[in-house]
Every structure is written in structure tokens, then in C-alpha cells.
Structure 1
Amino acid sequence: MADTLSTERVDQHGNGRRRQGVDKVVFGVAAGLALVFLLYGSLDSEGFGETGGTALSWITTNFGWFFVLTSGAFLLFSVFLAATRYGNIKLGADDSVPEFSTFSWVSMMFATGMGIGLMFYGVAEPLTHLNTPPMGMAEPGSEEAAHLAMEYTFFHWGFHPWSMYAVIGLAIAYFAYRKGNGNLISAAFRPLLGDRVDGPAGRGIDILAILATLFGSATSLGLGALQITGGLANVFDNEGYGTTAAALVIAVLTLCFVISAVSGVDKGIKWLSNANAIAAGLLVFFLFVVGPTVFILSTFTESIGGYLTHLPTMSFRTGVFGGSEWLNGWTIFYWAWWVSWTPFVGMFIARISKGRTIRQFVVFVIAVPSLVSFVWFSILGGAAFDLQLNEGKDMAALVESGLESTLFDTLRSFPLSSVTVVLAVFLIAIFFITGADSASIVMGMLSENGAEEPKRGLVVFWGVATGAVATVLLFADGLSALQTGVIIIGFPFLIVLIGLCVSLWKSLREETFESTLRDPLRKVVVATKHGDGTRSGS
């Protein structure tokens, strides 16, 4: 029955009539715009930086409130779906089963969604907030500043970003695997746009998704390259390497993730994600054991309580009464960064989540990675806090010398640092390769009408383009240019996310909820009602 229903849905919604092969319009326009950007950034880096700065200032000044409001709405929408009867709906036919084990599933979504950022900001963000408290709300280096630092770090890496991934992943998986609309972001708009999703409107959405993915992954590649050069300088006791060295690192990483991407999800990405999870677990566990264990546990406990207590206030603070500059540089940047990542993270999570229920999806996509992030920052950030607050080490000076080296300088303060620093550099590289090859595959899928296994040439093209964009941004203005680019491209895609939520809600309300009869508890109730143990409501 389920297979027949699935086939009918495919036919009903026109998936069988979808174009096959490369969509020359989507690929051509997206590639052309990327080329224009590369040429502009390469030939006139100064003008490029000024234009980007002007656009960034306009967006953050006039629409910072929009990022704040919508990010909170995504979280509330996700929780609502999981907590109500809609949570029983499967992302696929009613008898479909998950393709990957829970461990591999969580490992892949976590490594793809945040891995490289956690390595870069694991020590850097808590330390920065400790010594430059958010919006000047505490005395630098004080106990109150420490509380604020961890609470805002949890805020930036917790429920809100993962809820953004959840809403887009849910929409794509639901319409692709349950409704048979096709594995494209534009396909999820069929309830709103009808057959227009197969025309210019749908193609425009997919083009925007490609560009958002390109800039989001390029920003991560740039951050990863900066941190790897910082790690290499630490390993070889060098004062530091310049932008040229970072560009060389980008070239090497690009080659690695392209090779991984063309090997497919079942091989390269799955293996790398599992290796990531194990290696990262070993690193933080070692630091937890040899570091200030009790201090770390206390930091985690207090920070969780503070985060949950102040979550409503933090969620809707716009800085209108002061602190807008800090919010623009941190919170708005993060929200835009996560938004720019949603196309490829959402499509990738959807790709590996077929057979899960909406409730399983929301819980595992939002709660589990958030909890892991909290533990991560409590261990890395807590160890750095202890060095400054209790051991008297000048960690503020490390922050001022460069965010990319704070992790390694912290590891140097504990035993076996020569091993842990090398492991950290390895993790940064692998985390990025995992995320970037996922992005390359997704851009290939978007260019090829949602094909789950896009042509290798497309994957290679977008992988190389990602490396090229990251290099241009680094040479333009380093970290500032990376942040500017991601906010500018994240803003228009925020509108797409809102549309996805509306489309998903419209379609979910039309569900008959026959699938709830397949719930084991429901079977018993129905069978008892009919007095026949063989009747289960099917």
C-alpha cells in the first residue's frame, strides 16, 4: 500500500515529468554570477571591500531585527511540529526505514552543520566574550562576564541555528520523500507556487540556494584555512603565516574534499563523519580529564541553567537601546551564517533522514547537536576560563593576537600538547572536508534537477569554485570580508526559509494522519476497540 501511495504521489505532483540531467539555466546563471564575483574581487579588491561594507551596513542597520525575529520563530515552529500530532508523520512512505544508523546519522549532520566552526570558536568565542562582554553588560574578566560569555556562546551555537537547519531539512525531506515532489528546494514550494516551481520562480530559488551554499561554505573554508595556518605556526614555533599560506591551505583542502565528494555519501562523507566524531570525542575527553574537571562540570551546569533562563530575552534582543554594534558583529553574523548554510545542510540532512518521523527529526537535529555543542564549549571554553580566572594566565592577550591561535595556545597549557595540537589541526581539516564535500554535492544536486548522485564534473566545479571564492575573500579583507559576504547572501535566503515554513505548514494540514495508526500503541488501542487482535487500522 505504501509503495503504491508513494508512486501515486510522484505521478500526482509531476515528479515523473521533471527534467532530467543538468539544468543549464540554474547552473549557467549561478556559475556566471559566481564568476562575476570572482572577477570583481580579484581585479578590484578595494572597491569590492567598500561595496560589501556598504551593503553590510545597510542590511544590519535596517534588518537586524528581522534576523532576530525570524530565528526565534523557526525554533517555535519546530518545537510545535514535534510536540503535536504532526510529529508522527514519517519523512517517506509509512513503511520506510532509516538508511543510516543513529550514530552515523547524528555524526554526519553534526560534522556537516557545525564542525569547522566549533573548532575555530571553541575557545575563541568564550574568551572573547569574557574579556569583551556582550554589549558591555559586565566588567571585563569578572564573574558576571564569565556567565554572559558562556550563555551567549550557547545561544549562538544551540537551539536557534539548529532549528534553522531543521525547518529547511524537514521541508525538503517531506516533499521529496513523502510527497514525491523532487529533491530540490524549489520543489518544496509546490503548495504555494504550483507548477510555477518548474519555471523561472523555482529556478530562481535554486540559484539563490546555490549562491548561499557557495558563500557559506567559502566562509567556513576561509576560517578553517586561517586556523590551520595558526596551528601550523604553533606546531613549528613560527610567529605566523600570511594570507598566501592560507591560500595554499585552501588549495590543498579543496583537492581533498573534492576527492571525498566524488566518492559519494555512503563512502567518503560517512567514514569521515564517523572519524570526526571519534577523534573530537577523544580530544575533548582528554582535555576534560587532564584539565580542571570539576571547574568544567560546574561551568556546564551553571551555563545550561543561565542559557535556559535567559533564552527568551536573548532570543529577541535587537540592541535598539544599546549594543547594536556588538549584536551585528556576533549574533546577526551568526544568524546570517547559519541561514547561508541552510541550503546545503538542510538538503544533506534531508538526504540522510529518509524514514525518520518528524518528531525524531526535530529532537535529533535540534536537541542532540545542541547538547554536544554545550559540552564542547564547556570543556574548551571552561579550560581557558580556568587558565585566566584561577591560574592567572593572560588569555586576553591571546585573543588580541588572533582568534585562530587561541585553541592551540590553550592546548599548550596542558600535558601532551604536541599530540593534541597536531590532533586539533587534523580535526580542523577533516571537519572542513566533511562539510565542504557535502556542500559540493548539494550544489551539484541543485544544478542537476535534484539528482541524488550528481555528475562528478558538477561536484568538482563547485568544489573548486568554493575554494576560489574563499581565496578572493581572504585576499580582499580576511575575516571581515568572510563575515560580510555571508551576511549579504544570507539576507535574501531568509525569505526563502519563511516561504518553506508556510509551504510545509500548508501541506501538513492536509495530512489524513493514517500513519498514526501504525504507531505500536495505536495498534493496541484500535485492535482492542474492534475486539479483534488482527485489526490494526491498516
Structure 2
Amino acid sequence: MNKATKVFYIAFGLVILTVGFGVIAPELFEQGTGTIRNYINTAFGWYYLTIMAILLILVIVIIFSPYGKIRLGRDSDRPEFSTFTWVSMLFSAGMGIGLVFYGAAEPLSHFAIQPATAEVGSDEAFKEALQRTYYHWGIHIWTMYGMVALSLAFFQFRKGEPALISSTLKPLFGDRMNGPLGTLVDVLAVFATVFGVATSLGFGAAQINGGIAYLFGAPQEEWVQMVIIGVVTLLFIMSAWSGLNKGIKYLSNTNMVLAITLLALVLVLGPTILILNIYTETFGAYIQNLIGLSFQSAPLSAENRSWLDSWTIFYWAWWIAWAPFVSMFIARVSKGRTIREFLIGVVLAPTIFGSFWFGTFGTTAIDMQKSGIDLTAFSTEQTLFAAFSHLPLGMIMSILAILLVSTFFITSADSATFVLGMQSTNGSLLPSNQIKILWGIAQSLVAAILLSVGGLTAVQNTIIIAALPFSFVMILMVIALFKALNTELQLMQRKK
């Protein structure tokens, strides 16, 4: 069970081939993947919008249906982790570096650089910027993660199947998922995970470098980012070696404490009343406009369509590509919870915290921009630090932000090595340290190599391309889940 399967060797080989192509012909790699990505955005934008909206509807249906009382495990099982630790793990795996990297930069971009529909710099653009950011990081992502994770957790803990994406499709395809078809599905999941996490590691290294460059005048160079990746790799390998109940658990709790501390400081030291007022209005408007936002495809406006392709469609494909990794990790740490408790926790806790995070950081940055401080002059990785420099205790907050990115960096990579280990050892819930460490080193090498050849954009393109076939797998997973839930509910009713 703990030995590497053919999924490991096939996926590892594909990763090496892809990275090799990126190193040998970086411009061709980026151009080719960019062309395919643009085609997918244009031809399948409506499809991504539709499936994300349908998943939201299905989650609401399940929460209020009799399915909600089914437990993810035996009826006697109870949660392995406390609610605080569980929610902390969700954040560390599902959002992580993105919260810090885009916390101020994305709302600022929607306000001052390219709003979706409003006039640049207007009050309407202010409110729209926050609503769109909540939309990109809110309910839709977590309903998608929740549905995929629910399918994995149900089959793992309730039905005793291996912790593999392919196992969730057995109600539809039976034992054929034990053959080449199942291998194909699992290889796709591993491939998407490696490149998705490698891209985040690249972003994390760039932001840590940007922070220390802004604060201490350190060079903002590729070699510095290589050193950062090397140090963090050593740290997350140590964490991975210690196991799920130690390394990831303690680091996830640390992440949450650091995040809450930083959020509280910005809320108190920033424009507090404005933050509370604008968040109340914009979050309410986001909920009110949720249906319209969910299906907005801008078919008659080339400019608005271009914005959607660059932001919303990109995000939806990005999150779908991350689903194998994040959802498998969420499933692994959710044993013993009822389906209703699981979905409410997975959807609501990250959405509320994440939206308040973006509301706080985004409002602070936009308010500075309106007052004449041009934060758009800084790169994305330095925007947050530039904003902090205009607040009391700015240096302390900047150091906290660097620490938070670092711990998110470690837990994201740590969680990914755990999931990759599971996927390449036939679903073992306790993959060997050797397999985890090998995948950890591989992820860091992919990030380092592609950073050195300027290939992170191409990696992003690769992830978007991988998202399309996995979206079809995701649809099949949902169909198989409902089929299995119906059967399970009938069995429970017979036992009464």
C-alpha cells in the first residue's frame, strides 16, 4: 500500500518532460501554452461559469436534504481535529499564499488599473473592486472544493475505498477504474497538483524576496528566490517528515494566529470605520448580486469579455486545476464530520474570513490610492509592503506578512507532498516519508527551474489547460456521488 505505483512513475515522467520542454525552449513553451489557454478561455468560458454555478446550487441542496445527516465515516466516528485546527488547515491548503499576495493588489487593480465595468478611480469602481474580489475568492471556490472533497471523503471513510480520485468514479465505471482508465485520471490529478503548487511556490518566493527587498534593500534577483526556495524546502521537508498530526497541524494553527494578528492590526491601524462600512455594504451587494455575477459572460462587449477572461475565467480554471490537491487534503482531515457540518464549515468559514481579509486590505490600499499615494507604481509582490509603510507599525506588519507568506509557503508545499504521496501510493492515508520527500523536492525544483527561465507564466498556462479535462472528471465525480448517496440513504432507512 505504501509503495510507489505506476501513477507515480508516469506522472513523474510527464513532469520531467514538461519542465525539460520549458527549459530547452522557454519562449516556445510559453507561446504554445498561451495560445491553447486563450482558446480555452474563449471557447469554454460559459462552461466554467455554468459548472461553478451548478455546484453552488448542488451544495445548497445537499445541506438542506436528508443527505446532510450522513457521517463521513462510521456512525460512531467523530472528528480527528478540533474545529479551529480544521478550519486552519482549510485556509493553509486552499488559499495560503494568495491571501497575502493578492490581499491588497487585486482590489487595487480592479479600482485603479482596470475595473470590470465602472470608471477607473470612481466610487463605483471602489465598491465593484471589492465585490469582484469576494466573488473570485469566495463561495464558488469553496463549494467546488467542498463537492470534490465530499466525494473523496465519502468514498474513503464511508465506503472504505482508497484515497484516489479514480475511486470516486466506481459507481459509474466499476472495476474499470482499477485499470488504465483509473490510472489516467490519477495521473492527471498528480500532474495538476505538482504544477499548481510549483506556481504558488514561485509566487511565494517572489513575494518574500519583494518584501525583504522593499524593507531592507536586498537584491530582487532570481538567485535570491532560489535561496528562499531552498531554505523553505528544507523546512517543509522537516514538517512533512513529522507527519500530519504534528507538522501540518501546528503550522496551520500558526498560520491562523499570524493571519488574525495581521488582519487585526490593519483593521485597527487602517481606516477602521471606512473598512467596516464598506465591507458591510459590498459583502451584502456581493450576496445580493451572486446570481447575476455567476452567469455574467459579457457576450456583447469585447472589453468586458477581455476582463472576464483575464480574471474570472482564469480564476475558475485555476481553482478547478487546484481541486485534486486541495480537495483531497480537505477530505483527509475531515473524517468523522456529518456531510451537513462538513459543507457548512468548508463553504462558510473560508468565505467569511477571506472576504473580510480582502475587504480590510483592499479598502486600506484603495483609500491610500485615493489620497494620492500611488501604490500601482509597485509590483504585485511589493504592493502590500508599500501600503504598510504608510501605516503605524508598518515595519512590524511587514515582518509579520513575510512570516505569514513563509508559513503558508511551508504548509502549502507540506500539504501537497502529503496528497501527492497518497495519490502515488494507491491512496495510502499514511504515505511513506521517502515518497513525500521525493515529491517535495520535485515541486521545489520545478518552481526553481521555471523561475530561472522565466517560465511561471507558462506554468500557469499549463495549469489552465489541465483544468479542462479535470473539469469533466469533476462532473462525473458529482454524478457518482449522488448515485452513491441515494444508495446509502436507502440502506440507512432500511436499518431503522
Shorter-chain TM-score above 0.5? yes
Which residue identity lines up with residue 301 of structure 1 in the other structure? T
Q: 2:482 corresponds to which residue?
A: 505
Deviation at residue 164 of structure 1 after TM alignment: 1.3
Structure 2 distance, partners of 1:410, 1:509, is 52
Q: 2:309 corresponds to which residue?
A: 328
Give the 3-state SS of the residue equivalent to 1:448 in structure 2.
coil
The TM-score with structure 2 as length reference comes to 0.96
Query: Is the radius of gyration larger for structure 1 or structure 2?
Result: 1
Q: 1:4 corresponds to which residue?
A: none
Which residue identity lines up with residue 224 of structure 1 in the other structure? G
Structure 1 distance, partners of 2:88, 2:189, is 24
Q: 1:267 corresponds to which residue?
A: 246
Match of 1:174 among 131, 154, 166: 154
Give the 3-state SS of the residue equivalent to 1:134 in structure 2.
coil
Q: After superposition, where does 1:135-534 map in structure 2 within 5 Å?
A: 135=116, 137-238=117-218, 241-322=220-301, 323-389=304-370, 391-397=371-377, 401-477=378-454, 480-512=457-489
Deviation at residue 21 of structure 1 after TM alignment: 3.6
Q: 1:57 corresponds to which residue?
A: 38
Structure 2 distance, partners of 1:498, 1:248, is 41
Q: After superposition, where does 1:40-119 map in structure 2 within 5 Å?
A: 40-119=21-100
Deviation at residue 457 of structure 1 after TM alignment: 1.6
Give the 3-state SS of the residue equivalent to 2:279 in structure 1.
helix
RMSD: 1.6
- What count of residue pairs does the alignment treat as equivalent? 494
Contact 1:88 1:516 in 2 (8 A): no
Contact 1:88 1:515 in 2 (8 A): no
Structure 2 distance, partners of 1:349, 1:458, is 20
Contact 1:157 1:370 in 2 (8 A): yes
Contact 2:196 2:460 in 1 (8 A): no
Deviation at residue 514 of structure 1 after TM alignment: 6.5
What is the identity percentage for the equivalent residue pairs of Structure 1 and Structure 2? 44
Contact 2:29 2:458 in 1 (8 A): no
Q: Deviations along 1:178-229, whole A, 9 cap, x unmatched?
A: 0112211111111011011111111111111101111111111111111111
Q: Deviations along 1:123-166, whole A, 9 cap, x unmatched?
A: 0000000013433x111110010111000000000001111110
Q: Deviations along 1:243-266, whole A, 9 cap, x unmatched?
A: 332233222222222221121110
Structure 1 distance, partners of 2:338, 2:488, is 14
Deviation at residue 515 of structure 1 after TM alignment: 5.5
Deviation at residue 414 of structure 1 after TM alignment: 0.7
Contact 1:474 1:482 in 2 (8 A): no
Point out which structure has higher relative CO (alpha carbons under 8 A, 6+ apart): 2
Q: Deviations along 1:363-411, whole A, 9 cap, x unmatched?
A: 000011100001101111111122122x3322333xxx31110111111
Ranges in structure 2 where 5+ consecutive residues have no aligned partner: none
Query: Using a 3 Å threshold, how does the CA distance of structure 1 residues 261 and 364 change in structure 2: closer, same or farther?
Result: same
Give the 3-state SS of the residue equivalent to 1:74 in structure 2.
helix
Contact 2:5 2:426 in 1 (8 A): no
Structure 2 distance, partners of 1:471, 1:50, is 20
Ranges in structure 1 where 5+ consecutive residues have no aligned partner: 1-19, 518-536
Structure 1 distance, partners of 2:226, 2:313, is 27
Q: Deviations along 1:59-88, whole A, 9 cap, x unmatched?
A: 112112211111111111111111111111
Give the 3-state SS of the residue equivalent to 1:319 in structure 2.
coil
Q: 1:39 corresponds to which residue?
A: 20
Structure 2 distance, partners of 1:83, 1:134, is 37
Q: 1:3 corresponds to which residue?
A: none
Deviation at residue 237 of structure 1 after TM alignment: 3.1
